[in-house]
Amino acid sequence: VPAYSQGSALGGVNPDLASERQTPSFSVEKLTALLDGGEENTRIRRAVVEAIESDPVFSRENQYFQSQNEKYEAAVRKAVHLQKKMHEMGWTENGPEFKYIYRALSGEVAFLLHTVFMRSISVLGSDKQITKWIPLATQYQLIGSYAQTELGHGTYLQGLETTAVFDIATQEFILNTPKISAMKWWPGDMGRSATHAVVFAQLDIQGKCYGVHPFIVQIRSLWDHSLCPGITAGDIGPKMNFDHIDNGYLMLQNVRVPRENMLSKFCEVQPDGTYVRRGSQQINYFTMTALRVALISHEAVIPLMKACTIAIRYSVVRRQSKLKPGEEEAKILDFQTQQEKLLPHVAAAYAFHFINNYLEDLFNRGYEEIQRENFDMLPELHAFSSGFKAMVTQYCASAVEACLRACGGHGYSLLSGLPSLCTRILASCIYEGENTILFLQTARFLIKCFMAASAGHPVPPSVTYLAAVKPGKCPAKNKFDFLSPDTYTEAYQHAAVRLISSTAAKLQDLIQSGVKKHDAWNECTVQLVQAVKAHCHYITVKNFAETVERLETKGGIQRIMKHLCDLFALHGIFSNAGVFLHDGYISGAQMDMVTASYLDLLAVIRKDAVPLVDAFDFTDKTLNSALGSYDGQVYQRLYEWAQKSPTNTQMNPAYERYLKPLLHKKLSKL
């Protein structure tokens, strides 16, 4: 082993990276505190990360070399150890530390569905059911999963085919998987771990179907973990990522559960078979929408921040080609094309961080209202959660991939950390509601509000702008005018209103010309999706601009955030030029000004690129990337890590069996 690759003494911080940190235009520490929501939060987060990362049980060191079985085992081991750790550290589920644990583990832990199992019982179960099941689950006397999706059915719940027939004689429900497409498919923790599952099935009482209901079903023995009678269950096989999770299948054949196992806060089947519905299900609705908001930060924004950190740091260490003859090869971040690939995504990471804060505030307020039995905000909350979940996950997924590709060949190595970020974030575009379907749910809300606003009826605050349709032209006179938040926010507002109103008009026309409502809707869906994206984009830009306005001017924070806000907004106009040019709101000459300002900004932000990703404050262990470490010793680390690959540490099995006979002319014996 050569001297330069021994141990962790890799020779301090790479000078190319150190020079980037010498003269930041702002205080990195202050920006980190802003992202965390205060210095105290930063302190707590760092303490949690430190406690987790210093514990060898939670190590992710060999993650890139592990098989599916090994990853699953590690995730179970970590989940079990976490219980002990939390107890040791005095962390509780309601404490301030809790939300940082998942981040510190990078989500690579088992039993996430166990939490969903518990939450569904808390929300959908009667008090009696909660008293019985929640303590058992809390103490891990059983392990739960949540079995909703079927092989043939996903987002559209009414289409589920699993049946639960009530048998009055025995006071039991008989659960069945009537055909192959009805098999439960995908639920996490179900393939190998879970002993129980909340199973969603069509309730049938005396031949009448009452729709989909949740049932608690035991699937494995609590004693030896073998499958219960009538149950067929297993792992659904390898996926693009989530190797550590045993997503499972479940087939039920005449499985009987007592009447008390139907979760019955809102509906109950009485002993004589009478079906009773009570209370409002709207609170349950709220839980689903809150879940969508909760995933934005962990599963989309944080992964994007990590990918940006890796790609930006690598781009100042990597030198390639010459910018000027006779000079040293240039840092690739000095190429305009590389800046254009990466810096807008750094800006987007900040934009989405702030929109996520906005959504969290909105949901906290919504929750208080709902506690007071006021459900007025629900439609707006639902529209927000659907639209932004879809927009942010979609943007972040392609941005993470762009970061991967911006790292050239080395990005393709698992050791860069980028492939696993990429394959994991892709799943977020589908789970908790497929993105296209979610966009269309928001579209329904927007069209409804647009109609109401046009007729002069009141509409929720976030969409009042729809009523203020005023035709006009962008007033910008030169490229500097496009650095005014009012100018670009209005342009976004104009585009959103135009797309929503023109689609609404088309929908009306179609219906008036005799096309059936649902056909007319399907014919407008492509444009509706575009309109919703414009709406969400507008809100994101507006919120970013308003956030910048409120920031303190000390420490240079406001100035750099203003640059990022401008970049985010202008990038959107630059890449969707047609939307803004379409009705002449922005002229061709103005579009040239947008481009000029946009390209100018790249050069400005370039200087702060590394401090801007340093502020995300990820430890090397969290990033787990040979390209993105803080010290920038990229090549030494790649070489060191590659040598740990089992392909190098174990014997080459193909040599004796195939290569040797090949090289020694014994092909016929193969």
Partner 1 sequence: MMNADLRRERAAATFQPELLTHILDGGADRTRRRKELEALVINDPDFQHEDLNFLSRSQRYEQAIRKSSLMVMKLREYGIADPEEIYWFKSFVHRGRPEPLDLHLGMFLPTLLTQATPEQQDRFFMPAWNLEIIGTYAQTEMGHGTHLRGLETTATYDPATQEFILNSPTVTSIKWWPGGLGKTSNHAIVLAQLYTQGQCKGLHAFIVPIRQLGTHEPLPGITVGDIGPKFGYDEMDNGYLKMDNFRIPRENMLMKYAQVEPDGTYVKPLSDKLTYGTMVFIRSLIVGDSARSLSRACTIAIRYSAVRHQSELKPGEPEPQILDYQTQQYKLFPLLATAYAFHFVGAYIKDTYRRISGDINEGDLSELPELHALTAGLKAFTSWAANAGIEECRMACGGHGYSRCSGIPDIYVTFTPSCTYEGENTVMMLQTARFLVKSYTQVSSGQRVTGMVSYLNDLSRQRIQPQHVAARTVTVRLNDPVSLVEAYKARAAWFVEAAAKNLEAELHRRSKEDAWNKTSVDLVQASEAHCHYVIVKLFTAKLAEISNAAVRAVLTELCLLYALYGISKNTGDFLQAGILTDAQITQVKQRVKELLAVIRPNAVALVDSFDFHDIHLGSVLGRYDGNVYENMFEWAKKSPLNKTEVHESFHKHLKPMQAKL
- With respect to partner 1, which residue has the nearer C-beta, 274 or 647? 647
Q: Which of residues 288-317 bind partner 1 (CB under 8 A)?
A: none
Angle, CA of 74, 76 and 79, to the nearest 5° = 110
Q: Which of residues 148-177 bind partner 1 (CB under 8 A)?
A: 149, 151-156, 158-159
The full DSSP string for 445-467 is HHHHHHHHHHTT----GGGGGGG
**Binding of partner 1 by 193 (CB under 8 A):** yes
3-state DSSP assignment of residue 322: coil
Residue 24 contacts by C-beta under 8 Å, 6 or more apart in sequence?
Answer: 556, 608, 611
Which of 198, 168, 176 lies closest to 269, judged by CA?
A: 168
- With respect to partner 1, which residue has the nearer C-beta, 529 or 567? 529
Which of 138, 153, 75, 136 lies closest to 111, judged by CA?
A: 75
3-state DSSP assignment of residue 204: strand
97 in catalytic set: no
3-state DSSP assignment of residue 132: helix
Q: Least distance from C-beta 125 to partner 1, angstroms?
A: 22
Q: Least distance from C-beta 129 to partner 1, angstroms?
A: 21
Q: How far apart are CA 635 and CA 623, in angstroms?
A: 16
- With respect to partner 1, which residue has the nearer C-beta, 56 or 325? 325
- With respect to partner 1, which residue has the nearer C-beta, 172 or 401? 401
Which of 83, 82, 89 lies closest to 104, judged by CA?
A: 82
Among 213, 292, 313, 318, which residue interacts with partner 1 (rule: CB under 8 A)?
318
Q: Which residue has the tokens 């995908």?
A: 186
| CA dist 153 → 146, 189, 563, 568 (Å) | 15, 19, 45, 38
Stretch that binds partner 1, among 43-51, 63-71, 492-500, 552-560 (CB under 8 A): 63-71
Stretch that binds partner 1, among 112-120, 188-196, 207-215, 541-549 (CB under 8 A): 188-196
- Residue 622 labelled as part of a binding site: no
Please list, residue by residue across 293-307, b when 16 or more beta carbons sit within 10 angstroms of its beta carbon and e when fewer do.
bbbbbbbbbbbbbbb
Q: Which of residues 109-148 bind partner 1 (CB under 8 A)?
A: 139-141, 143
| CA dist 649 → 10, 59, 534, 636 (Å) | 22, 20, 52, 18
Q: What is the dihedral of CA 370, 375, 376, 378, to 10 degrees?
A: 90
- With respect to partner 1, which residue has the nearer C-beta, 140 or 210? 140
**Binding of partner 1 by 508 (CB under 8 A):** no
Amino acid identity of residue 469, one-letter, is V
Q: How far apart are CA 523 and CA 527, in angstroms?
A: 9
**Binding of partner 1 by 591 (CB under 8 A):** yes
CB 435 within 8 A of CB 429: yes
Q: How far apart are CA 123 and CA 266, in angstroms?
A: 10
- With respect to partner 1, which residue has the nearer C-beta, 314 or 616? 314
Stretch that binds partner 1, among 306-314, 475-483, 547-555, 573-581 (CB under 8 A): 573-581
The full DSSP string for 477-502 is -SGGGGG-HHHHHHHHHHHHHHHHHH
Q: Least distance from C-beta 165 to partner 1, angstroms?
A: 22
- Could you tell me which residues are beta bridge partners of residue 144? 196
Q: Which of residues 404-433 bind partner 1 (CB under 8 A)?
A: 404-405, 408-415, 419, 422-423, 426-427, 429-431
**Binding of partner 1 by 648 (CB under 8 A):** yes
Q: Least distance from C-beta 643 to partner 1, angstroms?
A: 7
Number of residues that bind partner 1 (CB under 8 A): 138
Q: How far apart are CA 375 and CA 286, in angstroms?
A: 9
Q: Least distance from C-beta 637 to partner 1, angstroms?
A: 10
- With respect to partner 1, which residue has the nearer C-beta, 270 or 336? 336
- Could you tell me which residues are beta bridge partners of residue 235? 248
- With respect to partner 1, which residue has the nearer C-beta, 153 or 537? 153
Among 29, 53, 55, 340, which residue interacts with partner 1 (rule: CB under 8 A)?
340
- With respect to partner 1, which residue has the nearer C-beta, 12 or 279? 12
Among 40, 329, 361, 368, which residue interacts with partner 1 (rule: CB under 8 A)?
329
CB 608 within 8 A of CB 562: no
Q: Residue 146: which H helix or E strand, with range?
A: strand 144-147
CB 319 within 8 A of CB 328: yes
In angstroms, how far apart are the furthest CA atoms of the chain? 91
- Residue 149 labelled as part of a binding site: yes
Of the residues 20, 172, 380, 432, only one is catalytic, namely: 432
Q: Which of residues 214-233 bind partner 1 (CB under 8 A)?
A: 222, 224-227
Stretch that binds partner 1, among 74-82, 382-390, 473-481, 556-564 (CB under 8 A): 74-82
Q: How far apart are CA 422 and CA 419, in angstroms?
A: 5
- With respect to partner 1, which residue has the nearer C-beta, 68 or 122? 68
Among 72, 352, 354, 488, which residue interacts with partner 1 (rule: CB under 8 A)?
72
Q: How far apart are CA 610 and CA 150, in angstroms?
A: 45
Q: Least distance from C-beta 204 to partner 1, angstroms?
A: 19
**Binding of partner 1 by 663 (CB under 8 A):** yes
Among 19, 170, 181, 508, which residue interacts with partner 1 (rule: CB under 8 A)?
181
- With respect to partner 1, which residue has the nearer C-beta, 450 or 598? 598
**Binding of partner 1 by 183 (CB under 8 A):** yes
Q: Which of residues 250-289 bind partner 1 (CB under 8 A)?
A: none
What character string, x for contact with partner 1 (CB under 8 A) and - otherwise, covers 618-647? -----------------xx-xx-xxxxxxx
The full DSSP string for 21-73 is GSS-SS-HHHHHHHHHTSHHHHHHHHHHHHHHHTSGGG--TTGGG--HHHHHH
Stretch that binds partner 1, among 61-69, 255-263, 351-359, 555-563 (CB under 8 A): 61-69
**Binding of partner 1 by 238 (CB under 8 A):** yes
**Binding of partner 1 by 336 (CB under 8 A):** yes
Which of 538, 518, 370 lies closest to 446, judged by CA?
A: 538
Stretch that binds partner 1, among 99-107, 384-392, 453-461, 512-520 (CB under 8 A): 512-520
**Binding of partner 1 by 335 (CB under 8 A):** yes
Q: Least distance from C-beta 358 to partner 1, angstroms?
A: 27
Among 13, 599, 604, 607, which residue interacts with partner 1 (rule: CB under 8 A)?
599
**Binding of partner 1 by 16 (CB under 8 A):** no
**Binding of partner 1 by 513 (CB under 8 A):** no
Provide the 10 A C-beta neighbour count for residue 155. Answer: 15
Q: How far apart are CA 294 and CA 42, in angstroms?
A: 20
Among 69, 253, 280, 478, which residue interacts with partner 1 (rule: CB under 8 A)?
69
Backbone Cα Rg of the chain? 28
Q: Which of residues 471-490 bind partner 1 (CB under 8 A)?
A: none
What character string, x for contact with partner 1 (CB under 8 A) and - otherwise, covers 19-38? --------------------
Q: How far apart are CA 613 and CA 21, in angstroms?
A: 11
Q: Least distance from C-beta 653 to partner 1, angstroms?
A: 6
Q: What is the dihedral of CA 651, 655, 660, 663, to 10 degrees?
A: -130
Binding site for FAD: what residues are annotated? Answer: 149, 188
Binding site: what residues are annotated? Answer: 149, 188
Catalytic machinery residues: 432
